[in-house]
Structure 1
Amino acid sequence: MTTQTASAADVILSARGLSKRFAGFVAVNGVDLDVQRGSIHALIGPNGAGKTTCFNLLTKFLQPSAGTITLNGRDITRMPAADIARLGLVRSFQISAVFPKLSVLENVRIALQRRRGDSFDFWRSQTVLHQLDAEAMERIDEVGLSSFTNETAGELSYGRKRALEIATTLALEPEMLLLDEPMAGMAQEDVARISALIRKISANRTILMVEHNLSVVADLSDRITVLARGQVLSEGSYEVVSKDPRVIEAYIGAGHE
């Protein structure tokens, strides 16, 4: 299904003519993007392609110089990130969620307090705080950390810290999850674990991710958008884009790792 023929009812996040200029330099130039509801959509490209800037525009860490962004048909172009999070669009790791000296359970419980609009009142009675434990345990179990509930977050392996960050994000009940290089810096065993986790949590959510690991992209993605020089170069399944001569040329020309 192409961007042009996608049914509006099936599109959760859409961008039209998205552009960003920095002091005369055009980092993103007229990007059109449709993310289908219930899909895993990857945004990739060689170094300098503009994918990180595009991702920051979509997640509202940057304001576009031109273009529009809609979520479920609602214009969110000028909304701040906190407001779109309340609409169900949440960027994983933006909370920078791990409090290293707190337990896994305490970390997720804090995220639940945030979703409910509560202040982070660490001095609340244990009875009040424990009312959130059952829901926190659901999120912990969802990311496979049930055996680490009482572990101090700072003592977790790098991959399990990432899983905990995802758990805190899931506590915000996102309809759509945006992942910024979820495999960055991971050992292979952690890559496999987080890949399986992403597939699991995508069962009832939409996911958009920027990812450099092309084997992960090939394994997980339903649809891929390739950027080069700030513009959409190709779009489709991994089988389609990986055989596109323009994509091959762009990656080889950029000396992609």
Structure 2
Amino acid sequence: MGNAPQTANEDFILRASKLTKTFRGFTAVNEVDINVRRGHIHAVIGPNGAGKTTCFNLLTKFLQPTGGTIHFDGIDITRRAPADIARLGLVRSFQISAVFPQLTALKNVRVALQRRTRGDSFDFWRAERCLSALEDEAMSLLEAFGLSAFSGVPAAELAYGRKRALELATTIAVNPRMLLLDEPMAGLGREDIERVAEIIRRIARGRTVLMVEHNLSVVSRLSDHITVLARGEVLAHGDYATVSNDERVIEAYLGSAAHV
């Protein structure tokens, strides 16, 4: 779990207030408040159709809100573009793996390191030797994510779980202050889930993580705080013990008096 101490004065790195999104008269997200504490792992959960994906896309600015505000580290990002907030250190991953399929694992990470160290210059036209200075750091990242043995393998040839690990490695390479994960366990088998969960726990040290996730077992083990959405509104929030025993949450998930 996150390492920041839970004190009364602890600040929030991300604040969404009365976040609303309407599509042609249909309200997908209705006045949602989400406050994410610095250094914590915060999960957004809810049954199908709860508005999780829409909310996530609003927070990462892939959708513009109809109403409400979003502040990142005190900066109003409500109308900022995704590239702008990425430069501020708010970086997202995707439910579908987003790596360059024809590049090797090493080169995928190196591209991300180029973005961090050289700004908007990716140096695709430079000689290979000009980029060798980044390879030691890239290999260190691959090793941290259990991918060192696959450094020369094109991303397209990696098993799905390793491809997700590579995506996380490339995301961390840009050194985000806050990481937003869209269903990081989607499509993974049990062994890969355990591997990726451990990676998330590791990368959360020293940074903040907000994730949308369906796997409640993972949520229970990783999350410091949980926001539960239902029908586009906040149904409950708190730690896992609190929300899993909330009768409204139980009803929303199961429609019966059983624990989440």
- Larger CA deviation: 215-224 vs 245-254: 245-254
Gaps of 5+ in 1: none
Match of 2:69 in 1: 68
Tell me the equivalent position of 2:119.
117
Worse-superposed segment, 61-70 or 113-122: 113-122
1:47 maps to 2:55: no
Deviations 1:136-184 (A, max 9, x none): 2232223221222222222211011001001111111100000000000
List aligned pairs for 1:120-131, cutoff 5 A.
Answer: 120-131=122-133
Kindly provide the amino acid, as one letter, of the partner of residue 184 in structure 2. Answer: P
Answer yes or no: is the 8 Å Cα contact 2:36–2:210 preserved in 1.
yes
Is it true that 1:235 corresponds to 2:210 in the alignment?
A: no
CA distance in 2, matches of 1:95, 1:106: 19
Secondary structure at the residue paired with 1:77? coil
Question: Structure 2: how far apart are the matches of 1:240 and 1:94?
Answer: 27
- Listed one character per residue, the Cα deviations across residues 1-59 of structure 1 (whole Å, up to 9, x for unaligned) are xxxx9867520000001000000000000011110111110000011111110000001
Matches within 5 A, 1:1-257: 10-93=11-94, 97-115=98-116, 116-253=118-255
Partners of 2:45 and 2:97 in 1: CA distance:
23
The 8 Å contact of residues 97 and 163 in structure 2, kept in 1 or not, is answered as no
| Alpha-carbon spacing, 1:181–1:95, altered in 2? closer, same or farther (3 Å) | closer
Identity %: 65
The 3-state SS of whatever aligns with 2:195 is helix
Matched-pair contact (CA < 8 Å) for 1:58–1:69? yes
Distance in structure 2 (CA, Å) of the matches to 1:146 and 1:12 = 33
Q: Gapped runs of 5+ residues in structure 2?
A: 1-5
Give yes or no for contact 2:90–2:178 (8 Å, CA) kept in 1: yes
Q: Deviations over 1:124-145 (max 9, x none)?
A: 1111111211222232223221
Q: Aligned in 2, Cα 1:74/1:9: closer, same or farther, shift over 3 Å?
A: farther
- Aligned residue for 2:70, secondary structure, equals strand
> What is the root-mean-square deviation of aligned Cα atoms in Å?
2.0
Summarize deviations over 1:198-236 as a string: whole Å, max 9, x none.
001111111000000111111111110000111110001
TM score, norm. by length of structure 1: 0.92
Give distance in 1, aligned partners of 2:111 and 2:96. 11
| 1:119 Cα deviation after fit | 3.8
Distance 1:245 1:94, change over 3 A: closer
Q: Within 1, Cα distance between the matches of 2:126 and 2:96?
A: 22
Paired residues, number: 251
Q: Give secondary structure in 2 for the equivalent of 1:132.
A: helix
Q: TM-score, normalised by structure 2?
A: 0.91
Structure 1 residues 87 and 117: alpha-carbon distance in aligned structure 2, compared to 1, 3 A threshold: same
